[in-house]
Amino acid sequence: MSEKKLITPRKLAGFMELEPSKQIIFDEMTEKIKKVFKKFAFMPLDTPVLEYSEILLAKSGGEIDKEVYAFTKGDTNVCMRYDLTVPLARYVAMNEPTLTFPFKRYQIGKVFRGERPQKGRFRELIQCDVDIVGLEQLPIVADAECVNITCEVFKALSLNALVHISNRNILFGYCESLGLADKTIDILVILDKINKIGREVAMEELEKIGTTSMQANDLISLTLKQGTFESVISEIKDLSDNQLYQKGISELTELHSYLKAFGINENSYTCDIGIIRGHNYYTGTVFETYMPEHLDFGAVSAGGRYDNLTGYYSNKNMPGVGVSIGLTRLFDLLDKNNMLKTKSTEIELQIIPLGDTLTNCLELQAFFKDRLICEVNYDNRSFKSKMKEANKKEIPYVLIVGENEVESGEYSLKNMNTGEQITISKEKCATFIKKNNLLDRLTDLKQKYQKKASE
Amino acid sequence: MSEKKLITPRKLAGFMELEPSKQIIFDEMTEKIKKVFKKFAFMPLDTPVLEYSEILLAKSGGEIDKEVYAFTKGDTNVCMRYDLTVPLARYVAMNEPTLTFPFKRYQIGKVFRGERPQKGRFRELIQCDVDIVGLEQLPIVADAECVNITCEVFKALSLNALVHISNRNILFGYCESLGLADKTIDILVILDKINKIGREVAMEELEKIGTTSMQANDLISLTLKQGTFESVISEIKDLSDNQLYQKGISELTELHSYLKAFGINENSYTCDIGIIRGHNYYTGTVFETYMPEHLDFGAVSAGGRYDNLTGYYSNKNMPGVGVSIGLTRLFDLLDKNNMLKTKSTEIELQIIPLGDTLTNCLELQAFFKDRLICEVNYDNRSFKSKMKEANKKEIPYVLIVGENEVESGEYSLKNMNTGEQITISKEKCATFIKKNNLLDRLTDLKQKYQKKASE
């Protein structure tokens, strides 16, 4: 190797790569989310990472956004998917005749965005999406189901979260009723950033694009309405008799009745007319999830209703509603704020040979294999450095197997946290560890409960 | 939309995209494999799909193989990973100081190969890999662990499989002992395809590259040795006293002692000197898995020992051993041969409103949510077409919720397979379905057992 020039091992910037002890936690979160999706009878879909550019770039008329990884292979123009929604649209348009509608699918997978890497921005992201797609029609209860799933996901992740819900028809209709229909997009862009720029600047900007100061004031007041569905709806329902506006009010009211039927905790959602969502394709219900104790995280999931998902690919009208949880970003935020449950290994037992007992240790591993997550430390190092390694890996129990132990069938089991050591048979060992793990978990639960109770 | 030209929805050739009912089975297989990997104390790793071209193409000196998806983004040359081994090498070289060795990781993820699509070839493949990487040294027991895991994976998938095992030092050493060391690679290429081309053609080809006919004959005879470890090793161990040859024999013997200690069923593995593996980086143990009843599937998993995994990136010697299961290809073969367990839905119950009972149905769904996988059929269609949909989705039970039922708290539960209908409370309904599912599973198990017993 001495002649060869070494290549410095490095990874592309903006790509998350976790150490295994953190990957375990990431995977656990993925599993919890998947479990919620499945519980609500969503079916899995796995579309390819690569698609024809023509398909993925339909929205921009084929123009390549600089954030999209696009390239040519042979004579085919391809793109890496930048979300899971456009591939879903392609999938349902392509397979419409064989699908049962409403089509409810979940997909958890990587998407790619070649933006300039910066703090908290990733180029490879794992998104967890559920969508419900109807054929010709899709009732509002589907929107409620997506909100319900969002609440269940954050509950499953033990994260305190609040889903802010609105309906875009309210602001659309209000603009229309003010005679500002042609300025709607520009107005929404300004209202969308009201929390960042503040009321004063928003006023100025609205007036700059041609609203009167009274219109600007009214628009901002409406946007700032937030509270329980009952209070917000009763405050705003008579502000305008515009048809679109009233459609928004009535959809929001219907949605709320379903949220109550689902029995969602009322502290988990709020009505917030300021939820706008940048994406232009949302056409009704829109919602974003925030963590009240960590508003600096921004929205940790978002979703809404789009009335013509497959418009670029099919003449059939297929309305949809969905929610997307950006797990990579959420995980990164939790990690940076020390909010991850620490758990550096899933290994429950390490068997350490002492003397010439390697094959005996393998036999023991085979005995334990369906009872415990267990490994043999077969490294050719000293006993002492093996113990050190087990410690570094944060293994909770170590079974020491010397030649005398093999003869007697009684082994030394060491609790690596307390240092306690007992002598035990293989049969009792598995039960002992399982029992102690259970006790540990019960203690954790008890502490958690006491902490909650004292709050 | 009438002015807009539609884009025909299509998917790139060579990319697997399963309908949800099959994706469920694929995901179940992934879960089973992951469970085995975890059981043996392997830790998860998830490396990025994209890497610097310089890193991924180190082996070929930076030259782009036409099978690799390579492109430029901004001024960075990047490649999509074509396997999980090279990223692992980059990862351990990069993180060596903080890792505990032997480093045992599993990774299940997509790899990309832009080869011309043809029957049974995919451009996007899900690979399931485990590898064990040592620092300076790695004992042969690690090789045995990889074979053991391979056997456990196929057992977990209920597939009858046979792991064919050899050690490349045997043929390396034998070539050396025949004075053919400089022709070793060419010889191995010919011997590797002996099953395809037959003994006669192999003889001719060997002689063409300069072996005598006796040498050719001896090489072929050695290559064709297959059987139990005891029989093969006793037959070949004295054929040569070449040092490399004897190293191969001794490693194979040691490996076998560990396989026995693991208690692996002896019908699950065989010694087969003809296992060569095209890849030049294997340096000792090599193995491939075949399904005896489906030899036409070819190798369904493969692995081996490589003595210098990180050679391009680090001066430290890091030997490794691993196994890779190509799940996409295996799934496709099982599917095409009708060998998949059919299971088109995981949904256990569908609730169908009859009349104005939608919110009652949502309340019922909330009641069932931690007990059953359950959905409400809230489609705006007729009751009859809802029943038809439930049938199409192969839902096993349907709960019919009319206004009278809501009043009485007793609902009609219909078994969609038998047509039987009973009246039941929500509390009893969950237990009833769970119990019947359990009974179905027991019946399946009983039939499976009886079938096995009669064989």
Residue B148's nearest CA partner among B306, B260, B307 is B260
Inter-chain CB proximity B365 and A44 less than 8 Å: no
Q: What are phi and psi of A163, to 5 degrees?
A: -90, 120
Residue A2 pLDDT level (bands cut at 50, 70, 90): very low
Inter-chain CB proximity B375 and A104 less than 8 Å: yes
Report the SS3 class of residue B241: coil
Inter-chain CB proximity B46 and A347 less than 8 Å: no
Q: What are phi and psi of B99, to 5 degrees?
A: -85, 155
Residue A119 neighbours by CB distance under 10 Å: 6
Inter-chain CB proximity A17 and B114 less than 8 Å: no
Q: What are phi and psi of B15, to 5 degrees?
A: -110, 120
Report the SS3 class of residue B76: strand
Residue B99 to residue A389: CA distance in whole angstroms = 10
Strand order across the beta sheet in which A124-133 lies: A43-44, A103-112, A124-133, A320-326, A301-306, A285-290, A162-167, A269-272, A226-227
B389: nearest CA in chain A?
A100
Inter-chain CB proximity B11 and A93 less than 8 Å: no
Cross-strand pairs, A131? A105, A322
Quote the distance between the C-alpha of residue B443 and its chain's center.
29
Instruction: Provide, as residue numbers in chain A, all residues whose Cβ is less than 8 Å from the Cβ of B374.
Output: 41
Residue A327 to residue A25: CA distance in whole angstroms = 12
Helix axes B184-192, B213-223, angle to 10 degrees: 60
Q: What is the mean pLDDT of residues A168-172?
A: 96
Instruction: Provide, as residue numbers in chain A, all residues whose Cβ is less than 8 Å from the Cβ of B365.
Output: 262
Nearest to B49 among A49, A54, A313 (CB): A49
- Percent with pLDDT over 70 in chain A: 98
Q: Is the pLDDT of residue A170 over 90?
A: yes
Q: Cα-Cα-Cα-Cα dihedral of A79, A84, A89, A91, to 10°?
A: 80
Inter-chain CB proximity B378 and A139 less than 8 Å: yes
Is the preceding peptide bond at A102 cis, omega within 30 degrees of 0?
A: yes
**Residues B361, B166: contact at Cβ < 8 Å?**
no
Q: What are phi and psi of B105, to 5 degrees?
A: -130, 150
Instruction: Provide, as residue numbers in chain B, all residues whose Cβ is less than 8 Å from the Cβ of A375.
Output: 40-41, 104
Residue A328's nearest CA partner among A70, A10, A21, A23 is A23
Nearest to A105 among B20, B54, B350 (CB): B20
Residue A232 to residue B447: CA distance in whole angstroms = 61
Inter-chain CB proximity B50 and A74 less than 8 Å: no
User: Which residue type occupies A238?
Assistant: D
Inter-chain CB proximity A393 and B100 less than 8 Å: yes
User: Which residue type occupies A23?
Assistant: Q
Residue B183 has what DSSP assignment?
G
Residue A193 to residue B265: CA distance in whole angstroms = 65
A156: nearest CA in chain B?
B370
Instruction: Provide, as residue numbers in chain A, all residues whose Cβ is less than 8 Å from the Cβ of B54.
Output: 7
A391: nearest CA in chain B?
B100
Instruction: Provide, as residue numbers in chain B, all residues whose Cβ is less than 8 Å from the Cβ of A137.
Output: 380
Q: Cα-Cα-Cα-Cα dihedral of B393, B394, B396, B400, to 10°?
A: 40
Q: CB-hemisphere CA count at 13 Å for B3?
A: 0
Q: The whole model's pTM is what? A: 0.93
Residue B294 to residue B305: CA distance in whole angstroms = 26
**Residues A397, A351: contact at Cβ < 8 Å?**
no
Count Cβ atoms within 10 A of the Cβ of residue A435 and give its class: 0-12 exposed, 13-18 middle, 19 or more buried: exposed
Q: What is the pLDDT of residue A172?
A: 95
Residue B286's nearest CA partner among B223, B219, B195, B368 is B223
Q: Is the pLDDT of residue A153 over 50?
A: yes
Residue B356 to residue B353: CA distance in whole angstroms = 7
Helix intervals (H) in B40-130: 53-56, 85-95
Q: A260 to chain B nearest CA, in Å?
A: 9
**Residues A166, A252: contact at Cβ < 8 Å?**
yes
**Residues A175, A190: contact at Cβ < 8 Å?**
no
Q: What's the token pair of residue B68?
A: 């690799």
Q: Is the pLDDT of residue A63 over 80?
A: no
Is the preceding peptide bond at B102 cis, omega within 30 degrees of 0?
A: yes
Inter-chain CB proximity B41 and A9 less than 8 Å: no
H or E element, residue B103 = strand B103-112
Inter-chain CB proximity B69 and A50 less than 8 Å: yes
Q: What is the pLDDT of residue B407?
A: 94
Place of tokens 């807009």: B4
Mean pLDDT by 10 residues, chain B (455 residues): 76 94 95 95 97 90 82 94 96 95 96 82 96 95 96 96 97 96 94 92 96 96 97 97 98 96 95 87 94 95 91 93 97 94 83 93 92 90 90 92 94 93 94 87 79 72
Distances (CA, A) of B214 to B18, B203, B210: 52, 10, 11
Q: Is the pLDDT of residue A221 over 60?
A: yes
Residue B355 to residue B411: CA distance in whole angstroms = 14
Buried b or exposed e, range A44-69, using 16+ CB within 10 angstroms: bbbbbbbbbbbbbbbeeeeeeeeebb
Instruction: Provide, as residue numbers in chain B, all residues whose Cβ is less than 8 Å from the Cβ of A4.
Output: 311-312
B377: nearest CA in chain A?
A102
- Rounded to a whole number, what is the distance in angstroms from the first to the last CA of chain A? 62
Residue A32 to residue A38: CA distance in whole angstroms = 10
Instruction: Provide, as residue numbers in chain A, all residues whose Cβ is less than 8 Å from the Cβ of B359.
Output: 257-258, 260-261
Instruction: Provide, as residue numbers in chain B, all residues whose Cβ is less than 8 Å from the Cβ of A314.
Output: 6, 9
A68: nearest CA in chain B?
B73
Q: Is the pLDDT of residue A198 over 70?
A: yes
| Strand ranges, E, within B183-268 | 226-227
Inter-chain CB proximity B44 and A23 less than 8 Å: yes
Residue A308 pLDDT level (bands cut at 50, 70, 90): confident
Residue A3 pLDDT level (bands cut at 50, 70, 90): low
Residue A267's nearest CA partner among A298, A290, A299 is A290
Q: What's the token pair of residue B180?
A: 């053919």
Q: What is the pLDDT of residue A348?
A: 92
Inter-chain CB proximity B48 and A378 less than 8 Å: no
**Residues B299, B288: contact at Cβ < 8 Å?**
yes
pLDDT in tens, A240-269: 999 999 999 999 999 999 999 999 999 999
Instruction: Provide, as residue numbers in chain A, all residues whose Cβ is less than 8 Å from the Cβ of B378.
Output: 102, 139, 141-142
Residue B258 to residue B143: CA distance in whole angstroms = 9
Q: Is the pLDDT of residue A398 over 70?
A: yes
Please tell me the total number of residues recorded for chain A in this structure: 455
Q: What is the pLDDT of residue B1?
A: 42
Inter-chain CB proximity B362 and A73 less than 8 Å: no
Instruction: Provide, as residue numbers in chain B, all residues whose Cβ is less than 8 Å from the Cβ of A98.
Output: 19
**Residues A114, B73: contact at Cβ < 8 Å?**
yes
Best of A30, A33, A49, A382 to mutate (most B CBs within 10 Å, chain B): A49
Residue A403 to residue A356: CA distance in whole angstroms = 7
Inter-chain CB proximity B94 and A10 less than 8 Å: yes
Instruction: Provide, as residue numbers in chain B, all residues whose Cβ is less than 8 Å from the Cβ of A131.
Output: none
Inter-chain CB proximity A7 and B101 less than 8 Å: no
Inter-chain CB proximity A102 and B379 less than 8 Å: yes
Best of A31, A71, A96, A372 to mutate (most B CBs within 10 Å, chain B): A71
Instruction: Provide, as residue numbers in chain B, all residues whose Cβ is less than 8 Å from the Cβ of A364.
Output: none
Inter-chain CB proximity A137 and B90 less than 8 Å: no
Best of A5, A265, A378 to mutate (most B CBs within 10 Å, chain B): A378
Q: What is the pLDDT of residue A4?
A: 66
Inter-chain CB proximity B375 and A41 less than 8 Å: yes
pLDDT in tens, B163-180: 999 999 999 999 999 999
Instruction: Provide, as residue numbers in chain B, all residues whose Cβ is less than 8 Å from the Cβ of A39.
Output: 369-370, 373
A311: nearest CA in chain B?
B1
Q: What are phi and psi of A237, to 5 degrees?
A: -65, -25
Inter-chain CB proximity B358 and A51 less than 8 Å: no
Place of tokens 């340096």: B283
pLDDT in tens, A5-51: 899 999 999 999 999 999 999 999 999 999 999 999 999 999 999 99
Helix axes B194-208, B184-192, angle to 10 degrees: 150
HEC sequence for B292-347: HHHHHHCCCEEEEEECCCCCCCCCCCCCEEEEEEEHHHHHHHHHHCCCCCCCCCCC
The rounded mean pLDDT for chain B is 92
Please tell me the total number of residues recorded for chain B in this structure: 455
Q: What is the pLDDT of residue B2?
A: 46
Q: Is the pLDDT of residue A413 over 70?
A: yes
Q: What are phi and psi of B268, to 5 degrees?
A: -95, -10
Instruction: Provide, as residue numbers in chain B, all residues whose Cβ is less than 8 Å from the Cβ of A40.
Output: 369, 373, 375
**A1 vs A428: which has the higher pLDDT:** A428
User: Which residue type occupies A227?
Assistant: G
Residue B357 neighbours by CB distance under 10 Å: 21
Count Cβ atoms within 10 A of the Cβ of residue B3 and give its class: 0-12 exposed, 13-18 middle, 19 or more buried: exposed
ipTM of the complex model: 0.92
* A216: CB partners within 8 A, 6+ apart: A202, A203, A206, A207
Q: What's the token pair of residue B136?
A: 């300076």
Residue A78 to residue A86: CA distance in whole angstroms = 14
Residue B414's nearest CA partner among B387, B445, B442 is B387
What is the secondary structure of B390-429 as a DSSP string? HHHTT-SEEEEE-HHHHHHT-EEEEETTT--EEEE-HHHH
Q: What is the pLDDT of residue A443?
A: 82
Chain pair A-B, CB pairs under 8 angstroms: 261
Residue A362 to residue B143: CA distance in whole angstroms = 13
